[in-house]
Structure 1
Amino acid sequence: MDSQLCNTLIVVLLLFVLAEVALQWRAEVKFGNSIFSAVAATDNSVSMFEARDGFKILSANQRFDGSSISVQSNRLGLRSPELGQKMPGSSRLIVLGASSTYGAYARTNAETFPALLQQRLNGQLEVINAGIPGNDLDSQYQLYRQQLSGLHEDILIVYSGLSNDIGRLCRKQQSGKSYALPQLSAPKWLLSVDLLLKNTTDLRYVPYKYQPMPDLASLLAQYQTTLQAIIQLAKQRGVQHILLAENLTSFRPEQPLSLQQALASSALYYTPCLDVQQFSEVFRQYNHTLAQVAVKQQGVHYLPLSHLVPGGRQHFTDSVHFTAKGEQAMADALAEALRGLPEMAK
Structure 2
Amino acid sequence: MAGRKISGWAAATVSTLLFVAVLEVGLRVIELKFGFLPAEPPQWIKFSPTLHFEIQPNIKCSIFYTLAETNSYGLRNPEFSLEKRDTFRIVCLGNSCTFGNLLHTEETYCRKLESLFRQRFGGKIQVINAGIPGYTSYQGSVFLNERALSYKPDLLIVSYGFNDRRAAPDSSRSDSPGYFRHYHSTQKMLSILRRSYTYRLIELAVLGKERTPIIKGYNVRVDSVKYGENLRDIARTAGENSIPVVYMGIPDNPRLLRRYKASQRLLNEGKPEAARQVLSGADRFFSRMERRRFNQRVLTEKLPVEPLPEIDDVMTFLGGLPIYTGDEYNDIMAKAAEEFNSHYVDLGTVLTEEHYADFIHFNPKGAEITAVELFKVIVEKGYAERLK
1:97 aligns with 2:120: no
| Aligned position for 1:330 | 370
Alignment of 1:1-346 (within 5 A): 38=40, 47-55=43-51, 56-64=53-61, 69-106=66-103, 108-122=104-118, 123=123, 125-160=125-160, 162-168=161-167, 171=170, 187=210, 219-239=223-243, 241-251=244-254, 265=283, 267-268=285-286, 272-275=288-291, 282-298=325-341, 300-310=342-352, 312=353, 314-344=354-384, 346=388
* CA–CA distance in structure 2, aligned partners of residues 188 and 215 of structure 1: 19
TM-fit CA distance, 1:147: 2.0
TM-fit CA distance, 1:159: 0.8
Contact kept? 2:110, 2:128, Cα under 8 Å: yes
TM-fit CA distance, 1:273: 4.0
4+ runs deviating over 4 angstroms: 65-68, 169-172, 252-258, 275-281
What amino acid maps onto 1:267 in structure 2?
F
* CA–CA distance in structure 2, aligned partners of residues 277 and 94 of structure 1: 37
| Aligned position for 2:199 | none
Q: Percent identity?
A: 20
* CA–CA distance in structure 2, aligned partners of residues 324 and 127 of structure 1: 18
Any stretches of 5+ residues in structure 2 without a counterpart?
1-32, 172-207, 263-277, 295-321
What amino acid maps onto 1:297 in structure 2?
F
| CA deviation vs aligned residue, 1:57-85 (integer Å, no higher than 9, x gap) | 21101111599632110111111111114
RMSD: 3.9
What amino acid maps onto 1:303 in structure 2?
V
Any stretches of 5+ residues in structure 1 without a counterpart?
1-20, 25-34, 40-45, 173-184, 190-210
Contact kept? 2:91, 2:148, Cα under 8 Å: no
* CA–CA distance in structure 1, aligned partners of residues 82 and 64 of structure 2: 34
Is the partner of 1:317 in helix, strand or coil? coil
* CA–CA distance in structure 1, aligned partners of residues 64 and 347 of structure 2: 31
TM-fit CA distance, 1:316: 1.2
Question: TM-score by structure 2 length?
Answer: 0.58
| Aligned position for 2:3 | none
Is the partner of 1:166 in helix, strand or coil? coil
| CA deviation vs aligned residue, 1:268-303 (integer Å, no higher than 9, x gap) | 27xx344598879743232121111111213x1111
* CA–CA distance in structure 2, aligned partners of residues 317 and 105 of structure 1: 7
| Aligned position for 1:28 | none
Question: TM-score by structure 1 length?
Answer: 0.65
Flag the 1:66–1:286 CA change in 2: closer, same or farther, 3 A.
closer
| CA deviation vs aligned residue, 1:213-257 (integer Å, no higher than 9, x gap) | x899x9221111111111111122221x20111121111699675
| CA deviation vs aligned residue, 1:86-130 (integer Å, no higher than 9, x gap) | 433321111111111111111x22221111111121145311111
Please identify which structure carries the higher helix content: 2
Contact kept? 1:95, 1:131, Cα under 8 Å: yes
Flag the 1:337–1:92 CA change in 2: closer, same or farther, 3 A.
same
Contact kept? 1:266, 1:318, Cα under 8 Å: no
TM-fit CA distance, 1:341: 2.5
Flag the 1:104–1:187 CA change in 2: closer, same or farther, 3 A.
farther
Indicate the structure (1 or 2) with the bigger Cα radius of gyration.
Answer: 2
Number of residue equivalences: 266
Highest relative contact order (Cα 8 Å, sep 6+), 1 or 2?
A: 2
